[in-house]
Amino acid sequence: MHSVDATVAPRNLISMDLPLPCPLQAGWELVRTIELPRTLADGLPLGGFSAAAYQQKHDRLWLLSDAPTGHLVPWGGLAKLLKGKHDTLRPGRRVLVRGGDGQPLPKGFDGEGLVIEGGQAWIASEGRRSLERPARLIRIDLGSGRLEKELPLPQGWLATPGKGLGSNKGPESLTALGPGDLLLAAEAPLLQNQAGEGISLMRRRPGEAIRSTGALDPGALGRHDGVTELLALPTRQLLMSLKRGFNPPDEWTARLQLFALPDPQGPPVQPIIGWDLLDAGLPPDNWEAMALGPELSDGRQTLVLASDDNFNPLQSSWVAVLTPRRTAACTD
């Protein structure tokens, strides 16, 4: 039995054209788990995957690493693997994240969010409340990795005494509501927030500055817990969030939560429903990345998740593929 948060789902959310279980309480099926290697052919360490994006046309899964030298790794063949035509993912050329001068960005860069649009990638970098390691939102050329643009973050997120993003607490998530329409989330409440004010969201519409757009209430968060990824669903009115929990020394939790897009002026929205992904068979680890994946042969959409191994030999870099369960009573 899948554990779900106590809510009642509106019937108009139970639609076969959304990547959601039907009924929502049916939960998720774990289709495949893939353990990635610890090194590539160049011998450099592989891991630290903190964000993902999938290009359906090219059957390419991009994973963003928060290694000291930030980079992306494209993996090919996921759709073919799910159809039994391959038995593993094929890594492509590593793309280093570079400054405008073409040099790799300094070690203070900590990529945590990824949106790919054509030949460009938007990346959110988590900050440490210092000039050396500021929170950032940048756009790079996907071929060269070179920095093309950086957008200033809003005042409420900047590190000032007693205010802003906490150290190593965001921006943690990045998703697209439409072309150039970006949604960012903190990992934990802002330092100036009172209890119950939730996880701050910021939105950047094309050609506009980044502005506050409400908040999510994911429930209780421990010291080592956080919202590690957001995913906007095709309706543009729903969000899925990945809530990671950790209890030292080695106890992990992973919950998927479904939210309505909040009112910028309203209170934090509570989840419509939530699912315990470890109940679905997900390996207990540091799950940080999520993207819409390829369709299965039966037409069901998939979610692709990836874990950040922290370059710790006791952890693994996992790619997991989930698909929504559908009962016989569900029709178009």
- pLDDT tens digits, one per residue of 208-259: 999 999 999 999 888 889 999 999 997 879 999 999 999 998 899 999 999 9
Q: CA dist 259 to 11, 28, 102, 146, 266, Å?
A: 14, 17, 40, 35, 14
pTM: 0.93
Task: Report yes or no on 265 lying in a domain.
Answer: yes
Does 6 fall in a domain? Answer: no
Q: Give percent of the chain above pLDDT 90.
A: 75
- Number of domain units in the chain: 1
Residue 254 to residue 252: CA distance in whole angstroms: 7
Identify the CA nearest to 31 among candidates 294, 235, 312, 320: 320
Here the tokens at position 6 are 């106590």
Q: Is the pLDDT of residue 2 over 50?
A: no
What is the Cβ-side half-sphere exposure of residue 76, based on CA atoms within 13 angstroms? 7
Q: What are phi and psi of 156, to 5 degrees?
A: -65, -20
**Beta strands of 191-324 (E only): which ranges?**
199-204, 211-216, 226-232, 238-247, 251-260, 273-276, 287-292, 303-307, 318-324
The number of helix segments (H) and strand segments (E) in the chain equals: 1, 21
Q: Residue 235 falls within a domain, yes or no?
A: yes
Is residue 50, in this structure, part of any structural domain at all? yes
CATH number at residue 68: 2.120.10
Residue 246 covered by a domain:
yes
Residue 146 CB burial class (10 angstroms; 0-12, 13-18, ≥19): middle
Does any domain span residue 131? yes
Strand, coil or helix: 43: coil
How much is the mean pLDDT over the chain? 91
Q: Which range marks the domain in which residue 281 is found?
A: 11-324
pLDDT of 13 > 80? The answer is no
**Helix, coil or strand: residue 118:** coil
Half-sphere exposure of 223 (CA within 13 A, CB side): 2
* Band (86; pLDDT cuts 50, 70, 90): confident
